[in-house]
Structure formats: C-alpha cells, structure tokens
C-alpha cells in the first residue's frame, strides 16, 4: 500500500483553464447591449405613459358598472355625466362642456367608430331634461345605451391637432 502512496505523491494537479466571462469583450457587443437597454427603457416608459393617460377610461368604465341597480333616470344621468367627464378629460373642456342634445351626440359620433345619432340616443338626451320621457325607454334600450357608452369609452379616438 505504501508503494501506491508514493506513486500518487509524484502526480501534479492539472491546471484548470480560466473561466469564460459571460460579459461581452468587444466594444460592438457592449454598444449593442446598451442600445438594447435604451430601447427597452424607452418602450417601458412609453407603455407606462399610455397606461397613465388612459386612466380616465378605466375610471369611467368602473363608474358605469352598477348601472343596472339604479333607477332608469339616475342610470341615464350617470351615463351622460360619465361620458361628459371623460370627454372633458380627453378633449378640451372648453370644447366639450357646453355640448348637449344634438351637438353632444354629434361630438360622440365624430369621436367614436360607433353610430351615436340614433332614435334611442335622442330619447336618452330628451329623458335627461324631461323625466317623463324616461318612461319610454325600455330595459333593452337602456342596455343598448349602456353598451354604447362603454364602447365609446373603450374606443374613442383622441386627435390632438
């Protein structure tokens, strides 16, 4: 056994090669990495700004969630108020705040891919100023109006000329 130990004692441990770094060595790869980080940061900031600029849409949609539990007159008033508030935020308040009846429906029609000038929407606007007209709006028409309001909030186009 002692002769085996003497043979092992004369062995030299192998030299391990240097570890290969994962960090790029050449300048071109470093520039490309920096450029990738800058593009990712730009896209992230742009996404955050878009998300923040659409906060009013999310708030308005949240406000319209309990329409079914309200009486018809209150529901119609809440729809109009919510749409008007969102429009004042998205567009200039000076342009939107004074609109009512046909000009208001025309504005909604111009900024939405959906048709807003219909007999149901005209009844809706009339019911806001004459509570007796509220009785002529059926539950189905009320659902149509609520869906139209939600669609406008999700799809309206803001053009900042």
Model confidence pLDDT, tens digit, residues 67-115: 888 888 899 999 999 999 999 999 888 888 899 888 999 999 999 888 8
What's the average model confidence in pLDDT over 131-136?
A: 80
What's the average model confidence in pLDDT over 32-51?
A: 96
Please list, in sequence order, all residues whose beta carbon lies within 8 angstroms of the beta carbon of residue 133, skipping any fewer than 6 positions away: 123, 126, 127
Structure tokens at 102: 């046909």
Alpha-carbon span 29 to 79, nearest angstrom: 55
* Statement: residue 2 has pLDDT above 60: no
Domain boundaries, the chain: 24-53, 56-155
Q: Which of 91, 136, 137, 135 shows the shortest CA–CA distance to 112? A: 91
Cβ(154)–Cβ(61) below 8 Å = yes
Task: For residue 158, give the H/E element and its range.
Answer: none
pTM equals 0.74
**Which of 16-25, 34-43, 84-93, 144-153 holds the top average pLDDT?**
34-43
């Amino acid at each position: 056994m002692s002769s085996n130990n003497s043979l092992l004692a004369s062995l030299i441990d192998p030299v391990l090669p240097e570890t290969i770094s994962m960090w790029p060595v050449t300048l071109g790869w470093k520039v490309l990495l920096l450029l990738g980080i800058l593009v990712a940061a730009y896209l992230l900031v742009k996404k955050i700004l878009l998300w923040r600029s659409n906060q009013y849409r999310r708030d308005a949609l949240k406000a319209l969630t309990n329409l079914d539990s309200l009486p018809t007159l209150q529901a119609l008033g809440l729809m109009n108020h919510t749409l008007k508030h969102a429009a004042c935020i998205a567009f200039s308040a000076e342009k939107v705040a004074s609109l009512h009846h046909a000009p208001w429906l025309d504005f909604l029609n111009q900024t939405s891919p959906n048709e807003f000038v219909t007999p149901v929407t005209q009844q809706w606007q009339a019911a806001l100023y004459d509570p007796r007209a509220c009785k002529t709006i059926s539950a189905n028409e009320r659902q149509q109006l609520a869906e139209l309001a939600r669609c406008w909030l999700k799809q309206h186009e803001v053009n900042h000329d």
